[in-house]
Structures are given as C-alpha cells and as structure tokens.
Structure 1
Amino acid sequence: MAVRAQPIRPVVWVGGLAALAVPTLILLSIGAVIVAAEPGRGLGPADWAAIRFTLVQAMLSALISVALAIPVARALARRQFRGRGLLVTLLGAPFLLPVIVAVFGLLAVFGRGGFVNAALEALGFPAFSIFGLHGVVLAHVFFNMPLATRLILQGWAELPAERFRLAASLGMDARAIRRHLEWPMLRKVVPGALLLIFVICTTSFAVALILGGGPRATTVELAIYQALRFDFDLTRAAFLSLLQLAITGLAAFAALRWSGLAGVGAALDRPLRRWDAGAPALRLLDAIAIIAASLFLLVPMAMVAFRGLPAIPTLPSAVWTAAFTSLVVAFCSTCLVAMLAISIGL
C-alpha cells in the first residue's frame, strides 16, 4: 500500500491521450462539416425515410440474428462431436470476411442466378429477388448470427457444471432446466447481443449499397455518402452525421449497460455433462439447428472459393498490388490499434 503520493507514470498520460483521441477525431470531423455547412437547410423526406429504414432493418436484423442464434448456441452447448471446435471457430469467419466478398457469396446462392432460385423454378415456384429490405436483412443475419451464437454460447459456457448436476439429481427435465437455468442466463446475455448487433447494423453501408435495390432501401450511412459525394450538401451531411452518432451512441451505451454475465455464478471447473439432452427429439432438434446453420453460413463462403480460386492465376498485376497495399495498411492499423489499446489498458 502506498504511504505517500505517487507520481503519475508517463504511460498513464499516453493511455489518457489515446482514450481521448478517437472521440476527439470524431467530434472534430463532425464539427468541421457543421462549420462548413450553410445555415437554414435541414433534412428532407428522403433523409427521414433513410433514418426509418436504418432503424427498421437494424431492429429486424438484430431480432432475427439472435432468435436464430439461440437454438444453435443451445445445440452446440448440449452436444460434443468431432469437429465441434472447428465449427465454432468457423462461426467467426463471416464476420471477418470483407463485406463485398460475403455479398457475392450470398448472390451466388440466393441471387437471380443462384441455385436456390434455380431449384424454385425447377419445382414450379416463382423466383424471388434478393434486392430490397429482405436482402439487406438476409446479409446482416449472415454476418451477425455467428456473432450472436458465439456470445450466447459463451453464456452457456459460464453456467456452472454443478448446477446441471444438481438439476439431474432433482430429476429436472429439459423444460425445467430451460426455465430455471437457461432462461435467467439468456435474460442477461440476449439484451447485450441484441444491442451490439443493432449498433453494427445501423452503420451498414456496403450491404445497403449492393442489396438495397433502390432509394427506398437507403441507410443513414449511404445517405451521408450521397449528400457529400453527389450533392455536396454539407448541411444534410452534418445533420445526418449527428443523428447517426446519436443513434449509435445511445445503442452502444445501452449495450454496455446490458452486457456481461454478472450473477451467472461460479464453478469448480468440473467437466460439463448434460443428463437432460439424451432424448431422441432433442438430439434431432439439435442436429437440425447445427446442420441448418452450417449450411447457411458455409455454403456462400464455399461458393466464393469455388468460383474464385480457379481465377487466381489469371489475376492482373494491379490486383496483387492492391492486395499488398491492403496487407500493409492492415498491418499498420493493427499495430497502431494494439499500441493504443495497451496504453489505455495500462
């Protein structure tokens, strides 16, 4: 214990400056746009439509992603099988993929020339278009359902094995365990996952640009780009930027407020055994959830690889130059972010 005042270490000053750097840059950028904007002009009907669309697609994407992730996470928590660790690792792949690459994969599966529409036409059903609100939501679910699954699966992993042993000794079935053990955990984990995915979806740009299908499917990010790039309307861009910052800031604050697993309980690190998961119906439901999620996530990525790998030898030199530039930028950005994070953490 310190007996006298201790001098502030230089690393603390560096961490404080790093913590202030990001919000300062954001506020300065918005302030510069506001200063350059012309007074007396506001948002039009198209801008308010973009705000409504942003909120609607973000809410739908978050709700559907989490709703689909819960049975998948429960199945992965209840089952141990060969390749489970690899599958859990692959769940992070869609979130790490470049957006355009993932969208091309979705178009190869669900697009006009995809095999889903080909199968529908072969069965006599009309083909459907992936463009529009449903296409944007589909792409966001593809990106964010794996993230929600990993977050909720972590909640199941935090449940002490002793509680399941006690439940088995009391003769609880799957319904009782769901009510007394899993539901309290989900109440703590699901709100944070919902809000986190909502924040991510409100900042959607490339997905709405490619799959939006027209002006009716414009997000706030896309509206800001249009105001600056095509109209050079700094007033609209400033207003939209402030609204975007307010939406994401409030949602991020709520996500921090609701995230975490406090109160789930401590354990003795015993191996987890699920005595309630042996019923054939539960095995079938878990198998369906795991197989359906795997197909939904892995088939688009496999289509990208199937169509892209044969063309790698024929790529022009400009593509390799761009790839090298991307790697250099990514490496420098990673080093900078790591140094800032370490200084803030210390």
Structure 2
Amino acid sequence: MKPVTLKQIAEILDISVTTVSKALKDYPDVSKKTKGLVRDLAQTLNYKPNEFAVNLRTKESKTIGLIIPEIVHHFFSSVIKGIINQAEKKGYLVIILQSNESYDLEKKQLKLLLNKRVDGILISIANGTADFNHLEEVLRDGKPLVMFDKIAKVVNCSKVIIDDRKAAYNATQHLIDTGCKRIAHFRGPLLPQNSIDRFLGYKKALLDNNIEYDSSLVYICECGDKSFEEGKLNAKKVLEDHSDVDGIFINTDMVAIGAITAFKDLGVKIPEDISIVGFSNWFMSSAITPTLTTINQPGYEMGKKAFKQLYKELKTLKKEKHIIPKIIELETNLVERNTTKPILKN
C-alpha cells in the first residue's frame, strides 16, 4: 500500500491541505473540533509525515554524525549515551562511526558524513591525527563541528573538554602526598592533546614538589585495543628498569588494570610496594582487587554538553552566518580507593 498523504486526508474531510497540515502541527488558528477529526483520521489511516519532503523544505536532515576512536571503550560508550539522550529529545538521529584511532579512516568517515548531508558533526580525533585539513573542510562546508575529549587546539570550533593537565597534576600530587618519591608515568601516544597535557601535569607536579623529572620513568602506551596488554608489559619493564619505583600515574584505567594484574602475578604488593592512580573511573576500576584510585572523567555529561552545543550552533546558523566557538570545560575529581596508601599526616 502507498503511504497516506495530507491530500487524501483533506479530500476525505473536505478541507484544505493547509488546514490538515496546521491541525497536525497544533496551530492555534485551527479549531479543536477540526484538529480532533484530522488526528483521528490520520491515526486510523496510519498516516506518517514524509520526512524526506520536510527535510528538503527545511534544508535539514535531522541527522548528526559522531566519530569516536573506540565504541567499546567505557568512556566513549558513556559519551555516546549522553549524546543520544539529548539527540532523541530534539528529534535527531545519530550516525555513529568508529575511527579505530586511524587518521586515514577518520578522513574517509568525515567525507562520508558530509556526503550524507548531516546537519553537524561531533568528533573525538584519532591518536594518529596530525593534519587537520579534513576538520577545517567541515567548517568550510558551513557545518557546525564540536570536538570533545581528544581535540585539536588549532581548529577554530567549539570544544568540550576537561583540564587534563590539572587532573594529571592532582593524580601525581596524590601519589606524592601518600609518600611516593619515585613516580613513573604510563602516558598515551605522543600526538593527542589530552595525552600531552596529562604528561605535562605529571611533570609539573614532580617539579613543584622538588622531585627531579626522569624521562626514563615515562613509558608510552598506544592505548588502543591492546591497552590491557600494554599495561602488563610496561609494568614488567618498570620492575626490570627501576626497582625503586614506588608509584605510577597511568593514562587510562584499562592500562592501569593491566599493570595491576602483572604486579599481582609477580608478587608485587599494591599499594605497599607500588601505588597506582588511573584515569577515567571505568566501572572495572571499582571491581578489580585492589580497587583502583583514579580520576573521574564525566563521559556522560561530556556527551550531553557536546550535543547541546552542536544543537545551539545549528539553531544559530538558521539566523546568522557566523558561529562564535565556545570552550566548555568540565570538572574532574580524584576517587580514592585501595591502590594508594592513606595521605601522610604532617
């Protein structure tokens, strides 16, 4: 059966197509009686609006694109939930794509979304992204772009972030306050801004406490789908290279859990021998033994804020041609658990 049209409803009720359309949209200049007749008949005939025609008329697709490095990652799954929660309220469909931390795939996905004529794009960039021309292309195309978590500072668009440098500083400071004097850092890849900022926060905390920075105590993790194994591998390296290490600040909880697993297998006591602080507050951080002290990163809230900002920019573009980019910074906090010792009393 062919879909029922407004014209058919109008002919049955002997009213104009305009009146039918207004009645379904609850316009005040249509009587309650007419609205009731139209709605009842529309329901009986299983009428559905022609979304394609509406989109052509309004020049909106009512879809947005979302590109993230990993879908199965706890943090990004929380972000997705936050985005979808807000998108559904505003009647938007979210197309979710995974870059797998690949710059080339990220470029292809952005082009695909532009070809699909999405209204706007949300993105957390891949670890391998060093050139940002594909992101600039989104802005040149007149589409709003909002970056979150892993961002490119040089791209002139709105961003939803945390203060990674401050959070890392607090994580390292906590290790120092609990008595650690030889602190290693398992950092992320060299390129993403959040990885850089967490490293800089770690380094500053050391220097502010008159602890000499030692580059040999910094271990790089790619933090992809092998994060757990990288944590185990680097834990073994630390013991081989630096038997005096008594604390580690680790870039993500998954890597930290890998390290805890390796230390337990090797007979290293946590936190008696080595204290550990992770980052993100993944649900497993409170399930592992010992439970992991970590930085709480508000993924769900970040997703909500990112969509809200994108939606605001979509509405702005209907009235104006220019968007003023906004930086939205969310708070983090340290969650103390059992991989660190109590803070020393002065």
TM range (shorter): under 0.3
| Higher fraction of strand | 2
Q: Max radius of gyration: which structure? A: 2
More relative contact order, 1 or 2 (CA 8 Å, 6+ apart): 1
**As a proportion of its length, which structure holds more helix?**
1
Please give the TM-score of this superposition, normalised by the length of structure 2: 0.22
